Amino acid sequence: ESLAFTRDEGEGIPNGIISRFPILESGEWDDSGQTNRDFVWAKIRLPNEKILWAISVHLSAKKSSNREAESRELLAYFRKNIPAADHVVLGGDLNAASVADAAFLPLREIFPRPANIPADADGNANTNSPRNKPYDWVLADAQLQPLAIPVVIAGKTFPNGLVFDSRVFTPLEGLAPIQKTDSAAANMQHMAVVRDFRIP
């Protein structure tokens, strides 16, 4: 299967987006709070001809007020660049210390918080390597959120989406070549967050 992708160029910690659907345009918006990364965006044409904007972010690991400022900056970019009729999904490392982190406050205007969030089979929704902080998110706008469907993988169903950790996921046999120790690899700081949507 042919995939399209885009990523930061010349950044120390680049963000990126991979798409199974055509990327019509892509680029980056300046993250004025960071010197080694920006907000990466891709304008994607879905099979039904609707447009999906995918945004990849990596917010500040410092104060929550820094993350809130970055989120306000993102909101301004959305208002300026994204037509109201288009779908928007935002994914990445929000460095959120909790589900009440200030990073979410400005984003609520575009991305309603789902009633239930992705988790592993044990119900753990935390995504950092020690599995004690909800750093990583996939957020859908108000048009896309109602189209969310359960994630079905390796014969298991995750009603709200999946936080994938190879150390606890079973059965791994259906996900070859993934190994049990992969999520504990050197420098592996985050788990994958998986959400599915059915686009009419």
Mean pLDDT along residues 83-89: 97
Domain borders along the chain are 4-111
Looking at this protein, which amino acid is placed at residue 171? P
Task: With residue 71 as reference, give the H or E element that holds it.
Answer: helix 64-81
In 3-125, the DSSP E strands lie at: 4-7, 16-19, 23-29, 39-45, 51-58, 87-93
Looking at this protein, which amino acid is placed at residue 172? L
Percent of the chain exceeding pLDDT 70 equals 100
Fold of the domain spanning 4-111: Deoxyribonuclease I; Chain A (3.60.10)
Residue 151's pLDDT is: 98
Mean pLDDT along residues 60-79: 96
pLDDT digits (tens, 9 = 90+) for 28-41: 999 998 989 999 99
- Residue 29: CB atoms within 10 A of its CB come to 18
Length of the chain: 200
Q: Inform me whether the pLDDT recorded for 11 exceeds 90.
A: no
Task: With residue 151 as reference, give the H or E element that holds it.
Answer: strand 151-153
Categorize the per-residue pLDDT at 49 as very low, low, confident or very high, splitting at 50, 70 and 90: very high
How buried is 132 (Cβ within 10 angstroms: 0-12 exposed, 13-18 middle, 19+ buried)? exposed
Percent of the chain exceeding pLDDT 90 equals 91
Looking at this protein, which amino acid is placed at residue 118? P
- For the whole model, what pTM was predicted? 0.94
Q: What average pLDDT is seen over the chain?
A: 95
pLDDT digits (tens, 9 = 90+) for 107-153: 999 999 888 999 999 999 999 999 999 999 999 999 999 999 999 99
Q: How far is CA 45 from the centre of its chain?
A: 18
Query: Would you say 54 and 25 are in contact if contact means Cβ atoms under 8 Å apart?
Result: no
pLDDT digits (tens, 9 = 90+) for 51-63: 999 999 999 999 9
Q: Inform me whether the pLDDT recorded for 79 exceeds 90.
A: yes
